[in-house]
Amino acid sequence: MGRGTPNEAGIAFYQRVLDACERLNITPYVTLYHWDLPQVLEDQGGWTNRKVLDWFAHYVEVCTQAFGNRVKYWMVFNEPVVFTSLGHFLGDHAPGRKGLKNFLPAVHHAALCQAEGARIIRRTVPGAVIGTTFSCAQVVPETDSLADKKAAGRFDALMNRLFIEPALGMGYPVDGFPLFEKLERDYAQPGDMERLAFDFDFIGVQNYYRVVVKHAVFPPIIWGKEIKPEKREVPEDGITAMGWEVYPEGIYHVLKQFAAYPGVKRILVTENGAAFDDLKSGETVNDPQRIQFYQDYLHQVLRAKQDGVPVEGYFAWTLLDNFEWAEGYRTRFGLIHVDFDTQERTVKGSGKWFREFLSQG
């Protein structure tokens, strides 16, 4: 199982999407994996089963053969640390697996697939521009104590370094989190550590908030905990509907951190946005907090660019209110409001602001 017959109806659907992009003069950036593993593969262990390397390679081959003559820009993964940690360690996201016995093999297999998928694109799509995307957050210790600094270092290794450094040929970040020694010792087969590396054309950075960390005896393993915004001196209007702190300067620090790697040539901000409790009044959805969010974060992206960071693009998350994983349809990130009962669309104030902002360029 894993090399079944491609779904021709599914391929035809995405061909129609590409047709629409061509009509509207939209350049598609295709993400190959955004957490949608077929159930038939999950039943066999999914990302914890080393056979996923073969399953994923076959999938990439099918996609590149179907769309390679129409798509130039490719992203292998969306946020691998999220689907491995929330889905295979904490159990908060699908498939709901928990513990190191699930997390560590899922990490190693995903890191291998990240590079192998890119190699397949390079081999099969002439002229492809290849990247992958990472969820990132500025991590800061609550105090200057050594214990808090070490806890912040472990969080940083997990949240920001775990997948970028293997791709750059640096191996896993064991200096920041010694637990990751187990990845090579217990799960890597001969040749694996070399296979983790790929020379990506660009790196996608996705940022929404910063993380403030203190040392703690619980949870174990990481020996630290995040201090949630509501427990800190954060203004009430500085917290999104997801409970995330609005901290624009964080994206500047994340961009600087990733640009510091010698192997990172280009950076795209592939997700940035905010969920607020949008209220529709008649035909209007006013969301001034979201407008301010984008203005402040874009200013910090420009600041990073002016400081020499090779950031070359920005994607807002997101165009339409949508399904937000464990949050369902409760939280709204869109520039366009969606009535989920009628499917009626209403451009929010932020969508109108973005339209005017882009028209000035």
Of 79, 116, 165, 245, catalytic: 79
Stretches in the chain below the pLDDT threshold 70: 1-2, 361
Any domain includes 1: no
3 domain residue, yes or no: no
Convert 22-50 to b/e letters by CB count within 10 Å (16 or more is b).
eeeeeebbbbbbebebeeebbeebbbbbe
Determine the Cα angle at 266 with ends 263 and 269, to 5°.
125
Asked if residue 101 is part of any domain, the answer here is yes
Residue 60: which domain range? 8-359
To the question of pTM greater than 0.95 for the whole model, the response is yes
pLDDT (0 to 100) of residue 1:
45
Q: Determine if the peptide bond prior to 310 is cis (ω within 30°).
A: no
Give me the residue label for tokens 């109108």: 352
Q: What integer pLDDT is reported at residue 3 of this predicted model?
A: 75
Residue 2 resides in a domain: no
Say which CATH number the domain at 291 has: 3.20.20.80
Query: Rounded to the nearest 10 degrees, how much is the dihedral formed by the CA atoms of 101, 104, 109, 114?
Result: 150
Q: Is 173 within the bounds of a domain?
A: yes
Catalytic residue among 142, 165, 245, 271: 271
Please list the alpha-helical segments (H only) found in 260-342.
288-306
Q: pLDDT digits over 172-219, tens only? A: 999 999 999 999 999 999 999 999 999 999 999 999 999 999 999 998
Q: Where are the alpha helices (DSSP H) in the chain?
A: 8-23, 39-42, 52-67, 80-88, 100-124, 146-156, 164-167, 181-182, 192-195, 249-259, 288-306, 349-359
Is there a catalytic annotation at residue 230?
Answer: no
253 domain residue, yes or no: yes
Alpha carbons within 13 angstroms on the beta-carbon side of residue 98 total 3
Name, in order, each residue with C-beta under 8 angstroms of 181's C-beta and a sequence gap of 6 or more. 172, 174
Active site (annotated) includes residue 312: no
C-alpha–C-alpha distance, residues 179 and 221, integer Å:
8
> Looking at the 3D structure of the chain, how many domains does it have?
1
Identity at 126, one-letter amino acid code? P
pLDDT tens track for 99-143: 999 999 999 999 999 999 999 999 999 999 999 999 999 999 999
Say if 158 falls within a structural domain: yes
| 248 within some domain | yes
So what's the pLDDT on residue 186? 98
Nearest Cα neighbor of 300 from 289, 311, 291 is 311
CB 243 within 8 A of CB 229: yes
